[in-house]
Amino acid sequence: MTTATSSLYDIPLETITGSRQTLADYAGKVLLVVNTASACGLTPQYDGLESLQRQYGERGFTVLGFPSNQFGAQEPGSAAEIVAFCSSRYDVSFPLFAKTDVNGPAAHPLYVELKRAKAGADGNADIKWNFAKFLIGRDGQVLARYEPKTAPDALVGDIEGALG
C-alpha cells in the first residue's frame, strides 16, 4: 500500500556534496526537516538544532538541513561555503542537502509533500521564512510543523514522544 506520506521516502534528494539520496535512508528514524540559512536573524538556531542532534541522535533522531535562499537571499553561498560556515560556526554534524526552493513553482517535491501534510499555524501551506521545521515519525508520517521562530529546544517534548 502506497500513501502520500509514505512517498516521502521515495522523493529524490541531493546532499550538499552532490550525492543522490532519498529519505528511505532514514526510514525508522524520527526526522526534523528544517529549511536553513546562514545569514538570517534565526541562524543561531543551528546551535539548538545541533544540540538536539547530539542529544537524541543515538536514539534514532536526525535533523536534516535544507539550505534555502528564498527568504531575503539569506543563503547566497555555494555548497562549499555553506558547509564551511556550518562546520566552523556551529560544528554541525547533521546532514545538509543541496540548496532547495521550499515555495513557488520550483519548490522541491519534498517540501510540496511536507506542506500538503501540515499547513502552517495560519492555515497557509507556504513556508513563511527560514527555519520552518517539520517533525516526521519513524513511520514516515508528518507529525508536526513548527513556525520559524519556534526555538529547537521547544520541540523536546514532541521529539521524545515520537522516539517513544
Measure the CA dihedral 99/102/107/112, to 10°. 130
The Cα–Cα gap between 126 and 112 comes to 9
Measure the CA dihedral 91/94/97/102, to 10°. -100
User: CA 87, 136, 40: angle at the middle one, nearest 5?
Assistant: 40
Identify the active-site residue in 8, 30, 34, 40. Answer: 40
Element at 111 (helix H, strand E)? helix 109-117
Q: Is 26 helix (H, G, I), strand (E, B) or coil?
A: helix
Residues in the chain: 164
Examine the residue annotation and report whether 86 is marked as an active-site residue of this protein. Answer: no
Distances (CA, A) of 31 to 42, 43, 46, 49, 138: 20, 20, 16, 12, 8
Catalytic residue numbers read 40
